[in-house]
Structure 1
Amino acid sequence: VYWLDQLPPEKTGSTTKTELTPRWLELCRNKKFYAQVTISPVWEVSEWALKAVPSNRLCSLAQPRAPAVGWQPDRLLLAPLNRVTQTAVATSRICQLAQPKRRLVLEGSGPKSKPVPMTHIPCKASAHIELLATPKFDHPKFEGERSVCWPVSRAARNYVASPRLHELSSPKERKALFEGYDPYIVSRAARSASPSPRIQQLCLPLPRKC
């Protein structure tokens, strides 16, 4: 679609040619890899480096930084104690406070022992707690766990299945699709079936999701 009802004029000149700039040519070249390996950490110093004289600015930068104002050297870990501290005698109150507390009681023995606070020290249980701690009794008709292996009767071992039972146990025979089987045909019994109240109840959505 053009703004005017005329087609744009056709170009008869040659197509535009792209010319590489010197920078592009430089970037297109492969990177040079220096395979020279320094064998010794000591290398030859040039004559100009041996005769170089540092400037005043370089000498000022080479000086170590002066410490800040108010800086103090590291204090010794063991500070000297005065004579009064060395000859001090602890009072009975300080000796009492220095004793460890006896509130913790060890529960059990062995490596799994752990300290128990005062609130967890064993105390006398109430009658209701003792009633709740009593295990429930089994029902009089409780038979316990049934064994996995149980005896099979002689009639079950000598039973012979009838032809009707063999017919019902065999899977339903169906033709393949290339033999004319139509999977979309619904039988007359399925079309005339009526759902039971239980099936209708299961078909309804849950009340909380309505």
Structure 2
Amino acid sequence: MASRTEQLSQPKPNLLRHVDRRSVYWRDELPPKRTGCSTSFELTPRWSQLSRSKTTQPGFDHIRDSPIWVVSKGALHAHASHRLCALALPRCPAAGWQPDRPILASVSSTKALLKTKQAPKHEHPMYSRERPMSWHIPRAARNAVASKRVVELSCPKERKALFEGYNPYIVSQAARSAQPSPRLQELCLPLPRKCKLK
């Protein structure tokens, strides 16, 4: 039995060249018995080209076994032109280019700071440091008396439960003594087209 690779290497039949028109109907006589293959297939030039194994290109027939090969005499005695020498030079950096800064900045020592007369910055005259844990309380704060408003604000806010003490049917005094405006009275009347004439 042929292997899978050999089966895939076989050309495909050209089904469009000889169309197989089989029919089960006949008129005068029975169809002849078929002994062999019904149609013969023929390869197109393109299919025969694709079925061949790939070959290397003409310029790459020789495979180098070693990275060292013979250099021709012309290459040994060749001289580079001025243009080639100019292209071989490394490109100069731009005018404003600066090298990258190091990741870790060097910290100068205290002696170096003293030599260069770069003492640490002084604190601002209005700067106040953190207050100590215990400090002196002035006499005015000790003898201070809270006003009535301060005592009122210091009391906790009373919070009632939801809808506690709320009556939705109570009508306020302002609503009882309210008087409607002429425009409101006009809007309260029904539309004339909906009124029935008596």
Larger Rg belongs to: 2
Question: What TM-score comes out, normalization by structure 2 length?
Answer: 0.32
| Greater RCO (CA < 8 Å, at least 6 residues apart) | 2
Question: What TM-score comes out, normalization by structure 1 length?
Answer: 0.30
